[in-house]
């Protein structure tokens, strides 16, 4: 249950990061990306704030690829809604938030880089 909550929150944060980068004039690839890693409690700390989910954590030490369990990325069908959400369309944001990300094994990361550039 908490994994699902954390995945949704991470996907939403990915979209917020894309929005901030685009508003700052950065060229972006409009795809939400979530990298899931199994890390020891000593590598994370709770994020303060009353409006945050109980799953919110901040990395305090780097995590290597050996700790990564999976990578999750939008498929191309989400592009239109992602662009609209990045542009400030709240309904598009909600539609994107309801979409599951595609699952990839960590060993597929080079293929992902080649495909998505």
If we measure between CA atoms, which residue out of 4, 3, 15 comes closest to residue 87? 15
Measured CA to CA, the distance from residue 25 to residue 70 in angstroms comes to: 30
pTM of the entire predicted model: 0.87
Q: Which residue has the tokens 């994370």?
A: 44
38 three-state secondary structure = coil
pLDDT in tens, 58-79: 899 999 999 999 999 998 889 9
Measured CA to CA, the distance from residue 108 to residue 96 in angstroms comes to: 24
pLDDT in tens, 16-57: 999 999 999 999 999 999 999 999 999 999 888 777 777 788
pLDDT in tens, 81-99: 999 999 999 999 999 999 9
């Amino acid at each position: 249950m908490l994994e699902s909550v954390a995945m949704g929150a991470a996907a939403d944060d990915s979209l917020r990061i894309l929005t901030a980068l685009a508003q700052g004039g950065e060229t972006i690839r409009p795809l939400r990306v979530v990298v899931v890693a199994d890390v020891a409690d000593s590598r994370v700390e709770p994020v303060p704030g009353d409006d945050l989910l109980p799953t919110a954590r901040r990395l305090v030490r780097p995590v290597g690829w050996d700790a990564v369990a999976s990578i999750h990325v939008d498929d191309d069908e989400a592009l239109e809604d992602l662009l609209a959400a990045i542009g400030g369309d709240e309904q598009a944001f909600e539609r994107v938030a309801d979409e599951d990300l595609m699952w990839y094994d960590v060993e597929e990361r080079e293929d992902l880089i080649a495909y998505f550039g």
